[in-house]
Each structure stands twice: as structure tokens, then as C-alpha cells.
Structure 1
Amino acid sequence: MESKINYRPSFPKKWFVIYTRPRWEKKVDKLLQEQGFESFCPVRNVENQWADRKKIVSLPLFTGYVFVKIDERDGFKVRFIQGVLNFIQYMGKPAIVRDSEIERLKHIMDAYNDVDVVSLSGVSKGDRVRISNGLFHNQEGEVIQIQGKHVLMSFDHLDCAVVTRVPISNLTLTVNPQQHYV
């Protein structure tokens, strides 16, 4: 009597990044876990102000992304979970995140309650920028210093150096008129 041996070679599980439908990060995280996958959607608590009330809400740290630890064969199953759009690609293959990076991110999320992701959008000290929103709307100046989510900048066209602190999200890079490109 022959017995059937179910042989499934074991592949190491690795962390991948999946791209989700807008505002589906926490739902996808829950659906992945319900399907038996290990997933991680770091969230931060933010106070939202409405006209009549304030409320603390949990928002994903990385908008549109969730981490999932799977072996390569499970990628097909993950793609069919509602809300999953695709894997983030690097050089034509799903991008892999080191275990140590996920552990570091989990540690940071546990240790600090004011974590946020800021895109510097290529803004560097010395860049010429235009303010796209706020009190100094359409004013141009030079970035003096980057301080987290804000920059210190000076406006030199006002016949004096006025320095202000501006959120990076309100800046647009401008081309220096003295620079010529060939």
C-alpha cells in the first residue's frame, strides 16, 4: 500500500509592499489577516477638527501601502484580495523589504506617537521655491534650512530679508532665472 506524500517545498517568507485602493489600507490589512497572512499597516493617530467637534482618527502612515509577509507562491492569492491593486515593483519584480526594516518601523511606531511621513519633494537648502498656499501665497524665496515638515526661507525681493517657517507641502521648486540649461 502506497501512501501519498504531500510535498510542498518551503520557500522563505519575505516582506513585500502592496498598493491598495485609496483609503483601503486598514481594510486590506484586516482582510489579509483574515486570510491567514501576516501583514502590517502602520497607523498614526491624528486629531481631526470638524465644525462641531474634534475626533482622534487612525490614519495609515503610508497612504496607499500595506506590508505583507508571504512566500512567492502566495502572491497570486494576495492579488485577488479585495482592495489590493498590485505589488510595488523594483526592477520588474515585487519589491522586497528586509525583516530588519519592518522590525525597525514597528519599534518606531511603538516608541513614538507623533510619527509622520514627509516627502521633501526634492527641496534642498539653497533652492529657490514659490509658496503655493497660505499667507505668503505666490511669494518666492530661498530655502535657508529644512526643519522636519517645515522650511525656513527668506524673501529677498522685499528690500529686506524676511524669514518665515513654511510647510514643505506648500512649496513648489522654481527655476533660478540666472541658470541656463543647454
Structure 2
Amino acid sequence: MKDKILGITKNTAQWVVVYTRSNFEKRIDKNLKEQGILSYCPLITCRNQWADRVKTVEKPFFSSYLFVKASLFDITKVRSSPGVINLITNNGKPVVITDQEIEQIKLITRNYSDAQVVSIGSLSIGDKVKINDGALFNVEGIVNKVMGTKILMIIEQLGCAVVVKANQVALSVAS
């Protein structure tokens, strides 16, 4: 067996992104932990309202995604777990997430209960958004232009426009 397959080394565990069946994130996380594999399913607490009651529930921050710290040996177990569809890859190699990025996700999910994942592709000119992190925390603005992973926002209360790097701040649709 090679020491390195698909960019993952035989003995060194790295964080990879796993694509799961819909609504299987927490089950897979539990299953992998029971097998001794370090996994992380970021959860946020939200309130669901039905006609007869309101209930606080934990739901995955990233729908159909899970993070697993796995070595080459563990990848086979991960892929064969019920509910796992595949690893997220780029150019045929699993996407590797750094420990710092995992810590940032943990920080966001722990400190910002109203944080949401907003796909850049789903943002349109005129959408109202709120910055949930950084120097402009809690400032609302209107999307003026989407430029790859950057967003040009008009902030009326400050009378200015700013460019926000989407990978450095969490955005949520303002209500």
C-alpha cells in the first residue's frame, strides 16, 4: 500500500469534509465517534415553532456536511459508514481543513446563535445582510455586488460601502 493516497498520509490524521445523506449528519457523527474516529458536526440551537408548541432543537450548521479527522486507515471506515455519500474533493483529492478553520467554526457556532450559512451563489443584489463577526459586527447592509468570494455592501447608517471577504466573516440574512 502506498504511504499517501488521494493526498492523505497513512499515519497522519487530517480534517476532511464528508458529504452525507440529508438529515444523517448527527447519526454519522455518533457512529464514527463510537468507532474511535474523531468527527465534528457543528450544531446550532434554534427554535422551531409548530401550531401547538415551540421547541428548541440542535441542528447541523452545515446541511449534509460533517468534518472528520482521519488518517488513510480511517478513510475506508468513514466511506463505508451508513449515510456517508463521499468525501468532498477538489481535483480528485479530499478537501483538507486546518485545525484553525475547525476552531473558527466552533467559535462561530458557540458565540453566534443566529449565524447561518449563506451561499455566495444565493446572494443577490439588493439582499439585506448582517455581518456577524469582525470590526463591523452587527452592522446591516445591502448587497450591491458579488465578486467571487467578496461582497460589496452598502451600509446606509455609516454612509459608505465596504467590501466584505465572505471567508473571513459570517453573514446571515437580516430579518
User: If the TM-score is normalised by the length of the shorter chain, which range does it land in?
Assistant: 0.5 to 0.7
Aligned partner letter, 1:101: E
For residue 117 of structure 2, what is the aligned residue in structure 1? 117
1:16–1:97: 8 Å Cα contact kept in structure 2? Answer: yes
Aligned partner letter, 1:88: I
SS in 2 for 1:121: helix
CA distance in 2, matches of 1:118, 1:71: 30
CA distance in 2, matches of 1:10, 1:82: 23
CA distance in 2, matches of 1:25, 1:114: 20
2:49–2:55: 8 Å Cα contact kept in structure 1? Answer: yes
SS in 1 for 2:121: coil
SS in 2 for 1:148: strand
Aligned partner letter, 1:114: D
For residue 21 of structure 1, what is the aligned residue in structure 2? 21
1:43–1:58: 8 Å Cα contact kept in structure 2? Answer: yes
For residue 46 of structure 2, what is the aligned residue in structure 1? 46
CA distance in 1, matches of 2:18, 2:56: 26
CA distance in 1, matches of 2:74, 2:91: 20
1:124–1:146: 8 Å Cα contact kept in structure 2? Answer: no
List alignment gaps of at least 5 residues for structure 2.
1-8, 132-139, 144-171
TM-score, with length taken from structure 2: 0.65
CA distance in 1, matches of 2:59, 2:124: 28
For residue 148 of structure 1, what is the aligned residue in structure 2? 130
Aligned partner letter, 2:42: P
Equivalent residues, number: 129
Q: CA deviation at 1:122?
A: 5.5
1:23–1:64: 8 Å Cα contact kept in structure 2? Answer: yes
CA distance in 1, matches of 2:87, 2:10: 21
For residue 58 of structure 2, what is the aligned residue in structure 1? 58
Q: CA deviation at 1:112?
A: 2.4
Tell me which structure has the larger Cα radius of gyration. Answer: 1
TM-score, with length taken from structure 1: 0.63
Q: CA deviation at 1:119?
A: 1.7
SS in 2 for 1:15: strand
% identical equivalent positions: 41
